[in-house]
Amino acid sequence: DIQMTQSPSSLSASVGDRVTITCRASQDIGKYLAWYQQKPGKVPQLLIYGTSTLQSGVPSRFSGSGSGADFTLTISSLQPEDVATYYCQKYNSAPWTFGQGTKVEIK
Amino acid sequence: EVQLLESGGGLVQPGGSLRLSCAASEFSISTYSMNWVRQAPGKGLEWVSAVDGPTGTTYYMDSVRGRFTISRDTSKNTLYLQMNSLRAEDTAIYYCAKKGTTASPGNYFDWWGQGTLVTVSS
């Protein structure tokens, strides 16, 4: 099975900072990658699918890039409401595996 | 607006069984694949099982195959997860989640239920 590895596991940044989270697949998954945001105590929400397509309603400060096995989620200007854990997920084929998560905090 | 309402969680002893339900509204589970995703306390997300909308084909993660059964009642627009031979490591919040597109491949999740807690403990 394909493994998904995120880095870092956690990060602390200041409001307004540019934040980058990396997701690496153990094999080529094309562009079949999604990102989710889970705020503390809340249900996960879809942010991005198809590597770079923003889900309706997601602020434009979020963006995704990559292909093959290396992917990136970028928050261009971190806001207090972005405090959350972020997960990548591959969906090229079963099993539809998630990364282990990246916890984002405000410094 | 799409709604997914899970029920059926609770406390069960190791080796016991439980059946989870997920009632869907504002879309047809015959059209979209449906999934169960779980999250152990303080841990990350883990995809558990899926049923394909048009075909009814089922999929399982390795550690639950043979113990869990996903099913659906399209007349009630409801998804189920029958969990047998439960283990302590199955303790988690179980979410049902809707596939985001009818395209394939496309099993990302655009709508999630609120989750139901399953605790396996003696």
Q: Cβ contact (<8 Å) for A98 and B46?
A: yes
Q: Give the model confidence (pLDDT) of A14-50 as tens digits.
A: 999 999 999 999 999 999 999 999 999 999 999 999 9
| Contact: B46, A49; criterion CB under 8 Å | no
Choose among B44, B108, B114: nearest Cβ to A43: B114
Verify whether the Cβ–Cβ distance A91 to B107 is below 8 Å: yes
Secondary structure letter of residue A50 according to DSSP: T
Query: pLDDT band at residue B106, thresholds of 50, 70 and 90?
Result: confident
What are the tens digits of pLDDT across the range A63-86? 999 999 999 999 999 999 999 999
Instruction: Read off the pLDDT band of B89 (50, 70, 90).
Output: very high
Cβ within 8 Å, pair A43-B115: yes
pLDDT of residue B103: 87
Average pLDDT, chain B: 97
Q: What is the mean pLDDT of residues A94-100?
A: 97
- In chain A, residues 40-69 whose CB comes closer than 8 Å to chain B: 43-46, 49, 55
Please name the residues in contact with A43: beta carbons below 8 A apart, sequence gap of 6 or more: B95, B112, B113, B114, B115
Q: How confident is the model at residue B115 (pLDDT cuts 50, 70, 90)?
A: very high
| Distant-in-sequence, close-in-space partners of A23: CB < 8 Å, separation ≥ 6 | A4, A5, A6, A33, A35, A66, A70, A71, A72, A73, A88, A99
Whole-number pLDDT of residue A41:
96
pLDDT confidence band for B61 (50 / 70 / 90): very high
Residue pLDDT, tens place only, A37-47: 999 999 999 99
Check CB contact under 8 Å for B109 and A36. yes
- B110 at interface of A, judged by CB pairs closer than 8 A: yes
Closest CA to B92 of B54, B50, B121, B53: B121
**Residue A101 C-alpha, separation from nearest chain B C-alpha, in angstroms:** 6
B108 part of contact set with chain A, CB < 8 Å: yes
pLDDT of residue B105: 85
